[in-house]
Structure 1
Amino acid sequence: MSIVHGPRRIVCLTEEPTEVLYALGEDWRIVGISGFTVRPPQARRDKPKVSAFTSARIEAILALKPDFVVGFSDIQADIARALVKAGIEVWIANHRSVEGIFDYILRLGALVGAAAAAQAYAATLRAHVDAVAARSAHWPRRPRVYFEEWDEPLITGIGWVGELVALAGGIDVFPERAAMPLARDRILADGGEVIARAPEVILGSWCGKKFRPARVAARPGWAAVPAVRTGELHEIKSSIILQPGPAALGDGLDAIHGVLAAWLTRHA
């Protein structure tokens, strides 16, 4: 008879713990997920949806009788507070870097008694990241990249996104903003800041809505931006880049690298 370690009834308030637990074969522990979950597809089909990102149905979560709830960032502090006051154990991770994602996978794996599986999974993801970085390491040119996370107001990318741009072969034009963990500190005063940085590629990932290249190109003064002049405006799906989990290290990194590799072919 095998001994089960760790929590048996987990609610995941964001997508990344759900994706990790499925990858580790520990999805049987999940009793509730975020309504924004799209990976893996079977999770969205099979698990009850009990939260958004900034809000959650506390009574619905309590009705599931979880013994552990996993969330992400200070934005979910109020949700966590309500659950803790109800006697639920809550872990709110706050990682904002590529290395933080790897560490998150290892910690979550250890919490559910799947440390070895987590180490193997993290090693596979790291090998992929290293392979992508190796392909771009000797490029003769690395394009300047502006990553736009939101359009009204203009918000540029967060830490792990800036790191993935670099690993994929680009140069983040707002590295000082990417280092800021809070969205309010990554808001640009106006479009003039982007014009001054002269990005050669614009990547858009508007959380929850479709990126509109034509709308970006029509902004006052942006006709002078190299990326706009050459039509290098590309969408990166928010579901594969804006959450600090496996998707960003896999499909997210691949999508950025694909755009930049194509740019190099056209502009080298």
Structure 2
Amino acid sequence: MGPRRIVCLTEEPTETLYALGEQDRIVGISGFTVRPPQARREKPKVSAFTSAKVEAILALKPDLAIGFSDIQADIAAELVRRGVEVWIANHRSVEGILDYVRRLGALVGVAARAEAYADALARGLDGIAREAEKLPVRPKVYFEEWDEPLITGIQWVAELVRIAGGEDVFPELSCEPLAKARILADGAPVIERAPDIVIGSWCGKKFRPELVAARPGWDAIPAVREGELHEVKSPLILQPGPAALTDGVAELARIIRGWAERRAR
């Protein structure tokens, strides 16, 4: 049967469990959850990303809490000390996301359903990649997770950019799992790599293209000169779950395809 009372400390386990039809197991969610919309209406919000309402979680009597990454290590440690079993996933790639779906499904006793869902997600990515192969030119893409300081995109984002038809301009940084290792000291490296497209996804706040365009020296960047400054909302791309592999990559593909069409005129 697997765990029956699950607290989801981040968004991706909530979205995955709903997709698998196992939402009745969820007794608490992250306050940042937006997918699916009904989760916010149906489930109590008991955590942020770096903090949690531990007493509220304990009152829900969970038999499992699920979180993500080193950033939630302190939350996990406190819950473990209070007798709660915790699973902290730490996947950082597209394949890791697909495997996460399979593992979570197996954990709650619906392995076959999860395998089918992961396969469908993978087929969707294959379809986008096939369409991207038709592009006459692949644009150079700078993906910015945060603006102060500048933080470049994580591995699954860089991989999705490539699937959608672009080339991430900081491939050597994308493989760094920790955000602090993807910080740029200033904007000079971006100017040097001259991206054709800039995509911002500032977690928790609205992307401001006018502020990006006004950065010193950035008027030399092709993306800035041509007005190719775009936003992908962070819930669609910065959570390592199904959203990134569906709506997130679709947004990347739309932006890249639009650039290619404008360039061909």
Give the residue type in structure 1 aligned to 2:247.
Answer: D
Alignment of structure 1 residues 1-268 onto 2, 5 Å? 5-268=1-264
Per-residue CA deviation, residues 10-38 of structure 1 (Å, 9 max, x unaligned), is 00000000000000010000000000000
Q: CA deviation at 1:230?
A: 0.3
Which residue identity does 1:249 align to in structure 2?
L
| Pairwise CA distance, 1:123 | 1.1
| CA distance in structure 2 between the partners assigned to 1:214 and 1:81 by the alignment | 42
How many residue pairs get aligned? The number is 264
**TM-score (ref. length: structure 1):** 0.98
Give 4+ residue runs of structure 1 displaced > 4 Å after superposition: none
In 2, Cα distance between equivalents of 1:143 and 1:267: 10
Which amino acid in structure 1 is aligned with residue 173 of structure 2? R
TM norm structure 2: 0.99
Contact in 1 for aligned 2:133/2:165 (Cα 8 Å): yes
Kept in 1, the 8 Å contact 2:135–2:257? The answer is no
Q: What per-residue deviation string (whole Å, max 9, x for no partner) do you get for residues 52-98 of structure 1?
A: 00000111100000000000000000000001111111000000000
RMSD value over aligned CA atoms?
0.5
**2: distance between equivalents of 1:84 and 1:137?**
48
Alignment gaps of 5+ in structure 2? none
State the distance in 1 between where 2:20 and 2:140 align: 37
Distance across 2 between alignment mates of 1:20 and 1:126: 15
Distance in 2 (alpha carbons) for counterparts of 1:49 and 1:136: 39
How far did 1:120 drift?
A: 1.0
d(CA) in 1 for partners of 2:41, 2:135: 42
Mapped to 2, the partners of 1:54 and 1:197 lie a distance apart of 33
| Superposed CA offset, 1:196-253 (max 9, x none) | 0100000000000000001100000000000000000000000100000000000000
Deviation at 1:140, TM superposition (A): 1.6
Cα deviation, residue 138, structure 1: 3.4
1:113-172: CA deviation from partner (whole Å, max 9, x where unpaired): 010110111111111100000101232200000000000000010000000000000000
Identity of aligned residues (%): 71
